[in-house]
A and B are shown apart, each in its own frame.
Chain A
Amino acid sequence: MPQDFRRYILKKTAYLTLTLFLILSFNFFLFRMMPGDVARVLIPRGADEETIARLTEYYGLDRPPLEQYLTYLKQTFTGHFGESITVYPGSSIEDLLVPFLVNTLILVGIGAVLSIVVGMYLGRHSAWKRGKITDRFYSTFFIIFYCMPTFLFALVLLTLIARFSPDWPIKGAYGVDYGSYDFLGKLADRTVHTVLPLFALVVQSIALFSIITRSSLTDVLTQEYMVTAVAKGLKNRDILRHHAMPNAMLPIMAAIAMDIGWIISGAIMIEVVFSYQGLGYLEWIAVVGSDYPLIQVIFMIQAVAVIVGNFAADLMLFSLDPRVKI
C-alpha cells in the first residue's frame, strides 16, 4: 500500500526533524548550565585580568544567550563546530572528528550487525529447545553476560590477553606502523586491534538480543495457530522460518531499535578500557577536560545516530507489518 507507506514516511520524517531540532536545542542549553566561569577553563596559569577579558571576547562567551544560540545553530548546519578548548587547544573540531568517527563506525557498525545476527540465531535456537538443558544453559549464560558490567568483562579480557599472549596489541584502533602498510596490511592491523573491543562490545548485546528473541519467539510458538501449522503437516523448519519468526520479528525489531542507543552508549566504556580511539573515547577525555564545545558536538552526533537508527528500524517495522500504529 504505497499511499499508506508514503504517509507513514512523511509523518515519521516530520517527527525525525522535530526531534533533531529538539536535540540541538537541548544540547545547547545543557552545556550552558555549567558551573563556574567557563572562560577560566580556557586560560592556563599565568594570564592576567586583561588577557582573560580579551579571550572571553575572542571565544564569544559573553554575548547574550539568544545570540549564542543563533550562532550555534548556524554553525551546526554549516558544519563548523568551533574549536576544542582544552583537549586540543585551538584545533577545529570538524577536522579532528573524522578519524574518531571512522573508528567508532567500524566498531559499532560491525558490532551491531554481529550482535543482531548472532543474538537472533542463538535466541531462536534456545527458544526452539526451551525446557531442555541447552536452553537452561544458554539462558543462564545470557543472563549473566547481560547483567555483567560492560567494563568488567572488557578489563578481564584485556588482562588475560595481556598476560597470556606474547604480542597481541591491547591498545589503540591501529598500530604504530599503520601509516607504512599497504591496504591489506592496514586492514589486517585494524582487524587485530578491533577484535578484542568488538568481542567485549557484542557479548552483552548478543545476550540481550538472545533473551529478547527467545522470549518473543516463545510467545509466538505457544500460540494457537502454531498447533494448526503442525497439524497441517508442515516441516519443522518451515514452521520456524516462515510462520514463527516473521510474527516474532515485530517485538524483536522494536527491541533492536531501542537497543541501538545502548550499543552506541556502551561503546564508550569499551573504547576507554581498550584505549580504542573512537568517538566515545574522545567524549570521555572531553568530559574529563571539561571541553564543552567538543562534548556538545559528540553528544549531538550520538543522539542523531540513535534517532536515525530508530527511524530505520521504524521503517523496517512498518514494512514487516503495516498494521503498526504510528
Chain B
Amino acid sequence: MIRPFVEKMKARLLAANVSSSRREKIKLLLKETRKIWKRYKRNPNGMVGLFIVVFFVVMALFAPLIATFSEPAALKWADVNPAYAPPSLEFLFGTDFYGRDVFSLTVFGSRPSLIVGILASLISMILGTAVGLVAGYLGKMTDEILMRITDFFLVLPWFPLMIVFASLMGPSFTNIIIIIGITSWPWTTRIIRAEVLSVKEKPFIERARGIGAGNTRIIFRHIFPNVFPLVAANTVFLVANSIFSESFLDFFGLSDPSMVSWGTMLEQAYAKGAFSSFAWWYILAPSACIILLVVAFFLIGEALDEVLNPKLRKR
C-alpha cells in the first residue's frame, strides 16, 4: 500500500520543473532510501522498534478518538467515578486517585513524551551537528576551542545540571524541551566531528576546493550529506534519551504539573500512595509505555547504525 504512494511521489517530484542535475540528485536520494529501507527490513529488532514507535505515534495523533473519556485530567471525575478502581470493562486500565480513567490518561500522555522527544532531540541535533561540522572541518584552533567547550559540557554531570536548570528556569513544558536539548548536544558533536574528519580527507573534497568552492558550500553541499546518515542514526538515540530524561523531570516535579504525561502520572501515583496500596495498574501503564517507547527508539537506533555503518554490517 505504501509502494504506489511512493511511486506517485517520485513521479511528481521528477516531473516537477527542476534542473536535470537536481532531478538526478533526487533520484539518487530516493534510490538510496529504498536500499536502506530494504536492508532495514531484514533487521527484526529494528522492525519491532519501528512498529512500536508507529503505534505510539498513532496513539498520540488520534488520542481524542482512542481515549474512552474526554478531558481525562479534569478533577471533576472524582465525583463520578470510583477512586483506585481496578481494571474493568469500563475503565480499561482502572482509575486513579481522583477516579480518572488511567487508559485515557495514558493515551493522552503519549503526546508530551513524543513531542518532547522529537523537539528536544531536534534542538540537540542541530546544535550538535553545527558544532561538529564546524569543528571537524575548520580544524586547528577552532576545533580545539570548540572541542574544549564540548568536553566541558560533557563533563558536567547531566542530571544535576538538568535539575539545576529546571529549578532556575521554573517548571514548564517549553523549559523542559530547552533543558533537555541543551544538555544532550555534546554527544552528537563528538560523533559528527569524528566522521567529518574522515570525510574531509576524501578526494572529492579536494576537487571541490580545487575548483574554488568556498567553505560554507563545501560543508553544506558535500560534507553534510555524507555525514547525514550518521546524524540520523544518532538522533534516534537522542530521542530515546530525551524521552528518558523527560520522564525523570516529570517525576521529580520539575515540569508542568497540570500536564498529563507518563512521568506526571507516576509522580501522582507516588504522591497519592499508589505504591503502598498496590494500585499496580496505575503504576504499570505509564511505566510500561515509557520503557516500551525508549526501548523501541533504542532498537531503531541500533538497527539504523547497522544498516548505515558498513563496518557493523559484516557482523
Residues of chain B having any CB pair with chain A under 8 Å: 148, 151-152, 154-161, 163-164, 167-168, 170, 240, 244, 247-248, 251-252, 266, 270, 275-276, 278, 283, 287, 290-291, 294-295, 298-299, 311-312, 314-315
Contact = CB atoms under 8 A, between A and B. Distances in A.
Interface string A151-170: 11001101100110000000
Q: Which of B159, B160, B266 has the most CB of A within 10 A?
A: B160
A155 B274 CA distance: 11
Given A35-B170, A261-B157, 9 more contacts: A147-B291, A151-B251, A156-B283, A159-B278, A162-B276, A261-B156, A266-B159, A268-B160, A269-B159
15 contacts: A23-B156, A30-B164, A35-B168, A150-B248, A151-B251, A155-B275, A159-B275, A159-B276, A261-B156, A261-B157, A265-B158, A265-B159, A265-B160, A268-B160, A306-B157
A151 B154 CA distance: 23
A121 interface: no
Contacts, number: 110
Interface of A: 15, 18-19, 22-23, 26, 30, 33-35, 143-144, 146-152, 155-156, 158-159, 162-163, 218-219, 222, 258, 261-262, 264-266, 268-269, 272, 280, 283-284, 287-288, 290, 295, 298-299, 302-303, 305-307, 310
Contacts of B251: 149, 151
A18 B148 contact: yes
Contacts of A310: 155
Contacts of A266: 159
Most buried by B among A22, A23, A150, A152: A152
Contact of B155 (A35, A143, A144, A306): A306
A150 B163 CA distance: 15
Nearest to A280: B160
Shortest beta-carbon contacts, A-B, top 9 = A265-B159, A147-B294, A302-B157, A265-B157, A159-B275, A147-B295, A287-B167, A265-B158, A149-B247
A147 B155 contact: no
Nearest to A153: B287
Contact of A19 (B152, B159, B311, B312): B152
A34 B169 CA distance: 8
Contacts of B311: 219
Contact of A262 (B158, B270, B276, B290): B158
A283 B160 contact: yes
Contacts of B270: 155
Contacts of B298: 143, 146-147
